[in-house]
Amino acid sequence: MANVLSKGSLFPAELVSEMFNTVRGKSSLARLSGSMPVPFNGNDVFTFSFDNEVDLVGENGAKSNGGGAIAPVQIRPVKVEYGMRVSDEFMYASEETRLNILATFAEGFARKAARGLDIMAFHGINPRTGSAATQIATKNFDALVSQTVTVTANPNVDVTGAISAVEAAEHEVTGMAMAPAFRTALASLTKGTNSNEPMFPELAWGSNPGVINGLPVDVNSTVSFGTGVKDRAIVGNFADFFKWGYAKEIPVEVIEYGNPDNDATAGDLKGHNQVYLRGEAYVGWGILVPSAFARIVTA
């Protein structure tokens, strides 16, 4: 691996695996759903809608049309990148030291990629700018999920209402992602008017228990990320109807010259004894059946 940090190389395979284990640990969507490989040119996931129940057919009986439709959901990867300036002394360090630097950079990049997946897929926002991104404007929960429950003084009732909305659409609920503020509201509930015993003690002191009342949950600030975002929790069938994945070849580039981050103040790399580390990843996702989800939102 002597050239592992040469210009235009790839992250080693073992680091890529570790990176996306980190993504699974830091992204609510990755925790609550299953991943799938996504080629660079994307793929289509086909979903069937079945209009009726199965038909009991007697001996010599006539069969009837059950009705339904098939529709593809396109999963096209988008490129995300993160870069930073470091001292060029790292170029002359031992191979072991350079690999340690690369591993540390990869871990940080994975954490940012995890947040980025959530922010983009929840809200259609460019994570860095905080602004709506046109290329994912129709590929996010806020745009596609029309079933909503408005936050009340009792968040437990709100969750029940969101679950009921999903079940009324004949889907099961496999998970819930919620913002820290909504977790705090749930943690503040008590078992009765004259009781100080918390209804959800597992949420005390900012905990993220993973499961509440048998339902997988994850607490993440990405649920309410962005100016004007009203989401406080998203409930639904993440296991079956949200798919995400990444292209496994993830390039890391070491740039020695120029001004690759377009920073007029920082100036030329060579003039400041710096190099620039840049990692890129190709991540894709698809919300297969929007009616399988409901959002709990502020008024």
Residue 291 belongs to some domain of the structure: yes
**Average pLDDT over every residue of 135-146:** 96
What was the pLDDT predicted at 56?
78
Residue 53 belongs to some domain of the structure: no
Residue 49 belongs to some domain of the structure: no
CATH number of the domain at 195, please. 3.90.1690
Q: Over 70: is that where the pLDDT of 42 sits?
A: no
According to DSSP, residue 221 is labeled G
Residue 14 belongs to some domain of the structure: yes
Using CA atoms, how far apart are residues 196 and 194, in angstroms rounded to an integer?
7
Residue 2 belongs to some domain of the structure: no
pTM of the model: 0.86
Is residue 155 a contact partner of residue 203, using CB atoms and an 8 Å limit? no
Residue 67 belongs to some domain of the structure: no
Is residue 267 a contact partner of residue 259, using CB atoms and an 8 Å limit? yes
Kind of pairing, strands 242-246 and 293-297? unpaired
Residue 80 belongs to some domain of the structure: yes
Place of tokens 């990867």: 77
Using CA atoms, how far apart are residues 216 and 214, in angstroms rounded to an integer?
7
Is residue 227 a contact partner of residue 291, using CB atoms and an 8 Å limit? no
Residue 112 belongs to some domain of the structure: yes
Distances in whole angstroms, Cα of residue 10 to Cα of each of 1, 5, 188, 252: 11, 8, 48, 5
For the chain, give the mean pLDDT: 87
Using CA atoms, how far apart are residues 293 and 241, in angstroms rounded to an integer?
9
**Average pLDDT over every residue of 188-204:** 90
Structural domain containing residue 131: 9-44+72-297
- Mind listing the pLDDT tens digit for each residue in 48-73? 666 677 777 877 778 787 776 667 77
Structural domains counted in the chain: 1
Using CA atoms, how far apart are residues 36 and 212, in angstroms rounded to an integer?
27
Q: Over 60: is that where the pLDDT of 147 sits?
A: yes
Looking at per-residue confidence, does 170 or 102 come out higher? 170
Q: Over 80: is that where the pLDDT of 107 sits?
A: yes
Looking at per-residue confidence, does 118 or 252 come out higher? 118
Is residue 122 a contact partner of residue 130, using CB atoms and an 8 Å limit? no
